[in-house]
Amino acid sequence: MTTDRQRPSAGTPSPADDFVAGPVRYVLAAGDDDGGDGGSDPAAAQGKSTGRALDAVLPVLPLRNSVLYPGALMPLAVGRPKTLRLLNAVGTGGTIAVVSQRDKDVDDPEPDELYWVGTSAKILRVHHEDENTLHVVVQGLERIRCTEFVQTEPYIIARVEAAAVEDEDSVEIQALVRSIKELASEIIELIPELPSGAVDLVNNIDSPSRLAYMVMTHLAVPVEEKQEVLQEDDVRMALRRALGVLNEQLEVLRVSQRINSEVKGEMNKNQREFFLRQQLKAIRKELGEDDDEEDFVELLRERLMQAGLPDDAQKVANKELNRLRSIQPSSPEYTVAR
């Protein structure tokens, strides 16, 4: 096995990357269609022999920056040589194993640098952007576990077994499902970019495991957190992990919303003050009054701000400055206040 690694710089993925290239959608039922006829490559033929991976040998597509769950539709931009060879061999309609990398910066991962729990997937569409790039859409079928990697060239092939999580209908499961649906609905309301039908999609999912996978599909959390949910063999633990992530995300959204509201309120206040000051200047000009006194007040305000006065003293000073601004310069009171 090769030990050389290319580590791309952070930022926009290079043409040699395989990465999620658009919104990932979730469907209520994964496709069960067969993959079509086989190719000349034995591994490709294995990939086309079945719509679901039940103790099969499948080509492996390492995913750099996300996790594919059963039921998810995922667009990918593919440019790594091994992955290009894999997709050209298997083609549209074929079945592959999609597993995530432990380290997204490794350009040519070996089996021990991959998570061994992943998802079998059907290749729905392959578009040749150019000779070095493919745009692919895959649909997650079912949870699988790699039991043995049988080759690494010209691309990785693994023996896999079905590892679907068994759903239960206990009181605890029902409570977890209810909590997840309530939190997910609240999060959807706070994110205007999500489609309006997202709440209905959440509420229409009956399978507890699929519910956990669906909410994790749409959350922008690290690969490690997504993988932890997929790794769980116990549906209770998968739901608990998903619920924990939802709680964290909801708290982040609430804090973010509060900060945005405060910043917007402060901006509105400053904009209103600026507008009123401009109006006041226009009125003074119309009355033939000199702007020198207004400039003097503003100069005093700037100096007070720079002085770093305690809050109480700053409030008193601002109050006096505002009073000074409201007094006519010709008034005896103005001289006293100044």
pLDDT tens across 141-166, in order? Answer: 999 999 999 999 999 999 999 999 99
Q: Is residue 296 part of a domain?
A: yes
Is the same domain home to 208 and 125? no
Q: Say if residue 54's pLDDT is above 70.
A: no
Q: Which amino acid is it at 83?
A: T
* Nearest of 223, 214, 226 to residue 64 by alpha carbon: 223
Token pair belonging to 263: 């910043």
Is the same domain home to 23 and 155? yes
Express each pLDDT in 199-253 by its tens digit: 888 888 889 999 999 999 988 899 999 999 999 999 999 999 999 999 998 988 8
> Which of 162, 187, 212 is at the close of a domain?
162
Distance CA 309, CA 304 (A): 7
pTM of the model: 0.65
Distance CA 308, CA 296 (A): 19
Is the same domain home to 133 and 100? yes
Tokens 């409201």, residue? Answer: 326
Q: Is residue 273 part of a domain?
A: no
Token pair belonging to 157: 């092939």
Is the same domain home to 24 and 151? yes
Is the same domain home to 40 and 125? yes
Distance CA 236, CA 211 (A): 12
Q: What's the CATH number where 153 sits? A: 2.30.130.40
First to last CA, the chain: 83
Give CA separation, 53 vs 29, 133, 142, 143, 145, in Å.
16, 27, 8, 9, 10
Is the same domain home to 49 and 145? yes
Distance CA 338, CA 335 (A): 5
Is the same domain home to 107 and 180? no
Distance CA 256, CA 234 (A): 33
Q: Is residue 47 part of a domain?
A: yes
pLDDT band at 313 (very low <50, low <70, confident <90, very high): confident
The larger pLDDT score, comparing residue 62 to residue 194, is at 62
The count of structural domains within the chain is 3
Q: Is residue 2 part of a domain?
A: no
Residues with Cβ < 8 Å from 183, sequence gap 6 or more? Answer: 243, 246, 247, 250
pLDDT band at 293 (very low <50, low <70, confident <90, very high): low
Q: Is residue 8 part of a domain?
A: no
Q: Say if residue 5's pLDDT is above 60.
A: no
Token pair belonging to 98: 């999609």
pLDDT for the residue numbered 74 = 92
Express each pLDDT in 19-34 by its tens digit: 565 556 666 544 333 3
> Which of 130, 162, 194 is at the close of a domain?
162
Is the same domain home to 249 and 306? no
Q: What's the CATH number where 237 sits? A: 1.20.58.1480
Distance CA 216, CA 210 (A): 10
Q: Is residue 274 part of a domain?
A: no
Mean pLDDT of the chain, nearest integer: 78
Max CA-CA distance within the chain? 101
Is the same domain home to 250 and 324? no
Element (H, E) at 133: strand 133-151
Express each pLDDT in 160-208 by its tens digit: 999 999 998 899 999 999 999 999 888 888 877 777 677 888 888 889 9
pLDDT for the residue numbered 299 = 72
Token pair belonging to 25: 């959608």
Q: Is residue 122 part of a domain?
A: yes
Query: Which range marks the domain in which residue 91 is found?
Result: 18-162
pLDDT for the residue numbered 4 = 38
Is the same domain home to 133 and 177? no
Q: Is residue 67 part of a domain?
A: yes
